[in-house]
Chains A and B, each alone.
Chain A
Amino acid sequence: MASSTTGEKKILTLKGGDNEEFILEESLVLQSELLKNMVKEERVSSIPLPSIKSKTLVKIIEYLKKHAELTPSNKEEFKNFEKEFVNVVLEELLDITVAVNYLKINGLLEFCCQAVADRIKDKSVEAVRKIFRIESDFTPEEESEFRKETPEAFEGDLDDTTN
């Protein structure tokens, strides 16, 4: 299938998990190594991405647009945008991170990993478990040994589950 063109700009359709379609300029998706290879090698004009929720795709496209507009003069503005970008509930942040990893958008991936790490840092073990809803799968013996060895890892910050 040949890419459809309007004037100079090539147009590409991305199909999210729930079949919602997103039409955007091909130049935008070149930031994704995965899509870049698809576009270059197979000359497709429509790419299905069934594993990515539309909601997540909307966010990512929003980022691609902002990133494409990045110039030295609006750096500050972009930084604020990035900050807001990852200011979402944990599940959404993880969805985005997984999708960005799949799409291979390197700069954004680093930023997302950092954002997830920020939600782990300075927290006690219990607080991290609560935030990430992880049940400990260590044996009670192991668990009590940890507590004996590194009591400070289990202290404080227990209520910090706001994110």
Chain B
Amino acid sequence: MSCTDPTLQLPDHLLSSIFCYLNFRDLVHVRLVSKRWHRNTPSYCAFNFDESLFFENTRLVGPLPTQEAHNKFSDSILDSLETSKSRLIKAEKRIVHVKFDYICTSTCLTVFHLTRCALNEQIFNGEGKFDSLQEVKLDGVRLSGEALAKFISKCPNIRELSLVNCEREWGCYGKPMFIVLPKLDSLKKLYVKHTSGNNSISKVEVIAPSLQVFHFLCSDVCKDAVYMDIRACRMLREFHLNCVRFLYWS
């Protein structure tokens, strides 16, 4: 008894649940322990950062990220992506879940989820492209200016895009928001959900010739009517619309 693997009594799903509590570095080790552990290592891992490190408390305007902490944070992401690149390439699925306001450049990311943060359009002014990205989800993300269009235009191979409760940058309280996407040849699925937030969506413009599925859910936070132009989406076969006021459809 004492020389058998005590984890044999754990069902596979339980082993996976346990591994979910580990960070990337540990998961790399876990994958190498045995074939069974390898099989049950989640291909998804969360980068865990102590967000409090990045804030200094200023009573007036709430917490603000400090520049130094922010740099440290971005260095650490780039560093871990760099060292993990070869391993990510070998993983079956390549997913990185980053819960902070930093877009990382990687040539092997296919799925990118960004939760509760802000995207500044300036970070997309550079040359870099996210050629490998296929699935992008922005959940509760503040988008400044043209950030959304700029970001998406750098993802030429994107197949699935979800925008959940995204808002405009600070200072645009109550102002309407546009979802205007550049031409996307590979986009197959688009989900827009807007059930909370300070900005209502007033314009949606999508040029995606191969778009097949489009769900648009917009609850009463949207006070304005939505102008929608999806004329270019000729392959659309599934269109869910749940919206209080709807102005124009052509």
B3 touches A125 (CB 8 A): no
Tell me, rounded to whole Å, the shortest Cβ–Cβ distance linking B45 to chain A.
12
Main SS of chain A's interface residues? helix
Interface residues of A in 35-66 (CB under 8 A from B): none
Asked whether B17 is an interface residue with its Cβ less than 8 Å from the other chain, the reply is yes
Q: How far is it, in angstroms, between the C-alpha of A136 and the C-alpha of B5 when the chains are bound?
A: 11
B37 touches A101 (CB 8 A): no
Kindly supply a per-residue 1/0 record for chain A positions 102-135, scoring 1 wherever the CB is within 8 Å of any chain B CB and 0 otherwise: 0000000100011011101111110011001111
Asked whether B30 is an interface residue with its Cβ less than 8 Å from the other chain, the reply is yes
Q: How far is it, in angstroms, between the C-alpha of A122 and the C-alpha of B28 when the chains are bound?
A: 11
Asked whether A97 is an interface residue with its Cβ less than 8 Å from the other chain, the reply is yes
Asked whether A98 is an interface residue with its Cβ less than 8 Å from the other chain, the reply is yes
Tell me, rounded to whole Å, the shortest Cβ–Cβ distance linking A80 to chain B.
21
A134 touches B3 (CB 8 A): no
Main SS of chain B's interface residues? helix
Question: Contacts of B7 on A, CB cut-off 8 Å?
Answer: 94, 132, 134
B22 touches A117 (CB 8 A): yes
Contact among A95, A132, A133, A153 with B28 in the assembled complex (CB-CB below 8 Å): A153
Contact among B10, B19, B29 with A153 in the assembled complex (CB-CB below 8 Å): B29
B34 touches A91 (CB 8 A): no
Q: Contacts A94-B10, A98-B14, A101-B14; is A125 near B33 (CB within 8 Å)?
A: yes
A123 touches B5 (CB 8 A): no
Kindly supply a per-residue 1/0 record for chain B positions 13-42, scoring 1 wherever the CB is within 8 Å of any chain A CB and 0 otherwise: 010011111110010111011111100000
Q: How far is it, in angstroms, between the C-alpha of A116 and the C-alpha of B37 when the chains are bound?
A: 14
Asked whether A146 is an interface residue with its Cβ less than 8 Å from the other chain, the reply is yes
Asked whether B126 is an interface residue with its Cβ less than 8 Å from the other chain, the reply is no
Kindly supply a per-residue 1/0 record for chain B positions 156-200, scoring 1 wherever the CB is within 8 Å of any chain A CB and 0 otherwise: 000000000000000000000000000000000000000000000
Q: Contacts A117-B21, A150-B28; is A134 near B5 (CB within 8 Å)?
A: yes
Tell me, rounded to whole Å, the shortest Cβ–Cβ distance linking A102 to chain B.
10
Number of interface residues of A (CB under 8 A): 32
Kindly supply a per-residue 1/0 record for chain B positions 80-103, scoring 1 wherever the CB is within 8 Å of any chain A CB and 0 otherwise: 000000110000000000000000
Question: Contacts of B250 on A, CB cut-off 8 Å?
Answer: none
Question: Contacts of A123 on B, CB cut-off 8 Å?
Answer: 26, 29
Q: Contacts A128-B33, A138-B35; is A98 near B18 (CB within 8 Å)?
A: no
Asked whether B128 is an interface residue with its Cβ less than 8 Å from the other chain, the reply is no
Residue of A nearest to B4 (CB): A133
Asked whether B6 is an interface residue with its Cβ less than 8 Å from the other chain, the reply is yes
Q: Contacts A116-B18, A133-B4, A150-B32; is A122 near B10 (CB within 8 Å)?
A: no
Q: Contacts A121-B23, A133-B5; is A113 near B33 (CB within 8 Å)?
A: no
A125 touches B32 (CB 8 A): yes
Residue of B nearest to A119 (CB): B18
Most A-side CB within 10 Å, residue of B2, B3, B22: B22
Most B-side CB within 10 Å, residue of A90, A114, A146, A153: A153
Kindly supply a per-residue 1/0 record for chain A positions 66-83, scoring 1 wherever the CB is within 8 Å of any chain B CB and 0 otherwise: 000000000000000000
Known A123-B26, A150-B28; 6 more pairs at CB < 8 Å: A117-B21, A124-B29, A133-B3, A133-B4, A138-B34, A153-B32
What 5 A-B pairs have minimum CB-CB distances, sorted nearest first?
A117-B21, A113-B18, A134-B5, A116-B18, A125-B32
B interface residues (Cβ-Cβ under 8 A, vs A): 2-7, 9-11, 14, 17-23, 26, 28-30, 32-37, 86-87
Q: List 24 A-B contacts (CB under 8 A).
A: A94-B9, A98-B9, A113-B20, A116-B18, A117-B19, A118-B21, A120-B18, A120-B19, A120-B22, A120-B29, A121-B23, A122-B26, A128-B30, A129-B33, A132-B7, A134-B33, A136-B33, A136-B34, A137-B36, A138-B34, A138-B35, A146-B32, A150-B87, A153-B29
